[in-house]
Amino acid sequence: MSSKKKEPETNADAPDAAAIPPRKGKKLLLMLVPVVLCGVAGGLWFSGILPSLLGMKPTEHAEAGLTKPTLPIFVDLPDMITNLNGNARKPVYLKLGARIEVAHAEDVERVKASMPRLQDMFQTYMREMRPEELRGSAGTHRLRGELLARAGLALAPVHVLDVLFVELLVQ
């Protein structure tokens, strides 16, 4: 048995610890570059530079809306009074005064011609409502949405923009 002293092994293939670049810098750079590119692209897109460079033109509808603002056109509905679906011992009534906003002035005559159908749809819906459904702003908002949907159906070729409440009284 020979007694040779073992010398500590030195790995000549291993690079020096000081020569290894930090990996955090590379990761940060790899994450930062796409974020910056997306930000620049978004800025160019919303400023209108990128769509024009790509040959995209705004639609005629958008151009018409930018050049000529339209005035709102309202059609008054007759006041409607209906009883709500509630307690049989004590009836609860709803009085509604509303206006319909339409897109074009020529639609006013169509709305007036379809007024009986519109009133019937509104009355039928409101009679099925319970008084607690109208409590708070959420109830009013829900009523507006339902009446807007029914106005769109009753006045089919006419584009109804909004239903505005002039008077809403629950008694």
Q: How confident is the model at residue 32 (pLDDT cuts 50, 70, 90)?
A: confident
Model pLDDT, residue 141? 92
User: How far apart are alpha carbons 1 and 150 in whole angstroms?
Assistant: 104
Q: Tens of pLDDT along 70-101?
A: 788 999 999 999 998 877 788 889 999 999 99
Helix axis angle, 136-154 relative to 115-127, nearest 10°? 140
Q: Is the pLDDT of residue 158 over 60?
A: yes
Cα–Cα distance for residue pair 99/68, rounded to 1 Å:
24
Residue 56 pLDDT > 60: yes
Each residue's pLDDT tens digit, 100-144: 999 888 889 999 999 999 999 999 999 999 888 888 888 899 999
Fold entry, domain 73-170: Tetrahydropterin Synthase; Chain A (3.30.479)
Sequence spans of domains, the chain? 25-67, 73-170
Pick the more confident residue, 114 or 51. 114
- pLDDT band at 66; cut points 50, 70, 90: low
Q: Which residues is 169 bridged to in the sheet?
A: 95
Residues with Cβ within 8 Å of residue 91, at least 6 apart in sequence: 83, 84
Q: How many other C-beta atoms lie within 10 A of the C-beta of residue 148?
A: 15
Contact indicator for 79, 97 with CB cutoff of 8 Å: yes
pLDDT of the residue at 148: 92
Q: Is the pLDDT of residue 5 over 80?
A: no
Q: Bigger pLDDT: 8 or 24?
A: 24
Q: Is residue 123 a contact partner of residue 82, using CB atoms and an 8 Å limit?
A: yes
One-letter amino acid for residue 41 of the chain:
A
